[in-house]
Amino acid sequence: MSNTSVLDLPASLPAEKPFTPLVRQFLDYLHLEKHFSDYTVKSYGADLLQFAQFIAGEIGSRNRAGFNAAAAADATPKAPMTPAAVDELQVKCEPLTIREFLAYLYAQNYTKSTTARKLATLRSFYKFLIRRGLVSVNPLSTIRTPKQEKRLPKCLDLEQVQKLLEAPGDADLLSARDKAMLEVLYSSGIRVSELVELETADLDLQEGVLRVKGKGRKDRLTPIGSQAIKALQRYFELRQTGGGQPMTGRVFLNKHGESLSTRSVRRKLDKYLVAAGLDPGISPHTLRHSFATHLLNNGADLRSVQELLGHQSLSTTQIYTHLTTSRMKEVYDAAHPRASSSTIPHPASNNNPARPFYPAKAG
């Protein structure tokens, strides 16, 4: 098997790449039945390719379960295993091998989040093998995922959003397109992958609604605001009169009339971040985070924000509540009758020596 990196794996995952038959079946299942995006399938494939290389002894220590002592002591290079032989090892995999793979990842200085993702890939793969009747016990059933550091998503304030959205202008076709892209990202909170897949038929500017093709091919309707509608109308006006580009198909096109890629959107954003004097580490996803946070700060309920973001689980949306703590504190201080210091003094400020303050016992 070759040491192919993630970036070398094209989205189409062609047959000549060194995936074993079982891994190929699993990736086809993700793509054709689960409707995972090409990028997600590509990431799963890269993780499973690495695990196959490890279990076959091509990376990491060879002295582990599945290799006898004599083989481990023999330094003579071995011929690569056949894909079928690697599949046999994967089917017979035991928890010890998974733990050794984790030790290998740790020794390679992989982050906890990357390790957790690779474990999630393996869990999905072995669940697939169990459903196919090829494995009876999941070797990851006793393996715990490393505890993750809690990192809050980066978010722009309203002034920063304003600077960014004004940076492109709308004097010509391409700048009007870029302004419309940024306005739609912030106004709707859609993912950049969803943005580039928008078709003109998905827009209802009169009603102010987009039909979004979300993860797993699950469509949802999401509203957009008046500023985003205005920016789209300006873009379409220039596209129709001066751009010579078709008014059907994808909404956002490059200068050659072809669909924009997510990477192109990122490059455009980077350009306007510099122009607006903003943090160059901001990504298109930051606008999605900002969308959710600003909605919650202004009184939107969590369930509605979940629907707008297209999250399957409410727990995914709850991370944004951590960003709104200061806003909730302001609301509490303004609304609760016992919140102000004039109503009830804080115990620590008790100046009466006859009534000393005793802190409450824990528990």
What are the residue numbers of the active site? Answer: 191, 215, 285, 288, 311, 320
User: Cα torsion at 248, 168, 157, 193 (round to 10°)?
Assistant: 30
Name the token pair of 49: 């390719």
Q: How far apart are CA 343 and CA 350, in angstroms?
A: 14
DSSP class per residue in 234-288: HHHHHIIIII---SSSBSSB-TTSPBPPHHHHHHHHHHHHHHHT--TT--HHHHH
DSSP summary character for residue 221: E
CB-based contact 31:17 (threshold 8 Å): no
Spatial CA neighbour of 6 closest among 17, 22, 15, 20: 17
Q: Is 249 left (phi over 0), alpha (psi -120 to 50) or beta?
A: left
Spatial CA neighbour of 286 closest among 301, 306, 315, 265: 265
DSSP summary character for residue 351: -
Spatial CA neighbour of 78 closest among 22, 3, 1: 1
DSSP class per residue in 144-168: PPPPPP--PPP---HHHHHHHHHSS
3-state SS assignment for residue 213: strand
Q: How far apart are CA 29 and CA 23, in angstroms?
A: 10
Longest dimension (CA), the chain: 86
